[in-house]
Homo-oligomer: A and B are copies of this chain.
Amino acid sequence: MHRVKVRVVEDALDANNTIARANRDDFDRHDVTVVNLMSAPGAGKTTLLERVLDDLGDVRAGVLEGDVQGSYDADRLASLHIPVTQLNTDPGFGGECHLDANMVRSAVPALPLADIDLLVIENVGNLVCPAEFRVGEDARVMVSAVTEGEDKPLKYPLMFRTCELVVINKIDLLPHLDFDIERYLHNLDAVHPGVPRMQVSARTGEGVAAFRDWLLQVKVPV
């Protein structure tokens, strides 16, 4: 029984990866770099994007907004005057907690791939399932807010282990928290030794230039 369940999950992930490769082919055909942006709810993904996507020089950015329902984040990004495509996970399901390759596949025809160089996919806020489903991205970025506590890398290791960059956000609040950044970094290195990380405050703008620079140079093999 146990082994059958494992097999079913593996088959589902194989199918997901096949569709992710089809997405990847479409992105490659248009030379679009794709970043899968993940975090817990309220970690500051959208605020971070508001800070950096309006100032990428010659790089033309677009966003695919993943949400259970509504278009609250897409509405916030409207002022940036970049293409934003909404992808909701609730129709017919009652709400999926992550994006998978097939959902992104369904959105590909609506993406202006010929007119952008960089696509940021803002995933559903969740530290578990988004990590299990590749969607055809070049790189995965995790936003981890210091308000969530030092233990999060240990409690959600797959998410921290499968990303190329950890953006440690809300550092403006450090003076008001019982948060030991050294202990957090120790926990982070325990699950993903040496993973690139940067400390930022999307709210004040501190450190976000480093994330902008990272976006401008990113081109990591899948």
Could you say which of A56-64, A170-178, A208-216 contacts chain B?
Answer: A170-178
> For the complex formed by this chain, how many copies does it contain in all?
2
- Proximity string of chain A (156-173) to chain B, C-beta cutoff 8 Å, 1 when within and 0 when not: 111000000000001011
Report Cα–Cα, A197/B40, bound state, in Å: 23
Interface check A28, CB cutoff 8 A: no
* CB of A153 to closest CB in B, whole Å: 11
**Contacting A173 at CB < 8 Å: which of B9, B67, B147, B155?**
B147
Contact flag A70-B128 (CB < 8 Å), given A42-B147, A42-B149, A145-B42: no
Contact flag A154-B70 (CB < 8 Å), given A40-B125, A97-B97, A128-B126: yes
Interface check A5, CB cutoff 8 A: yes
A125 touching B127 by the CB < 8 A rule? yes
A42 touching B128 by the CB < 8 A rule? no
List of B residues within 8 angstroms of A97 by Cβ: 97, 126, 128-129
Chain B: CB-nearest residue to A203: B178
Could you say which of A79-87, A88-96, A112-120 contacts chain B?
Answer: A88-96
**Contacting A94 at CB < 8 Å: which of B70, B132, B145, B177?**
B132
List of B residues within 8 angstroms of A21 by Cβ: none
A158 touching B95 by the CB < 8 A rule? yes
A interface residues (Cβ-Cβ under 8 A, vs B) = 2, 5-6, 9, 40-42, 67-70, 72, 91-97, 124-129, 132, 145, 147-149, 151-152, 154-158, 170, 172-173, 176-178, 203
What would 7 A/B residue contacts be, using CB atoms closer than 8 Å?
A: A42-B149, A67-B155, A69-B155, A69-B157, A126-B127, A147-B147, A173-B177
**A-B residue pairs, 3 tightest by C-beta:** A42-B148, A97-B128, A147-B147
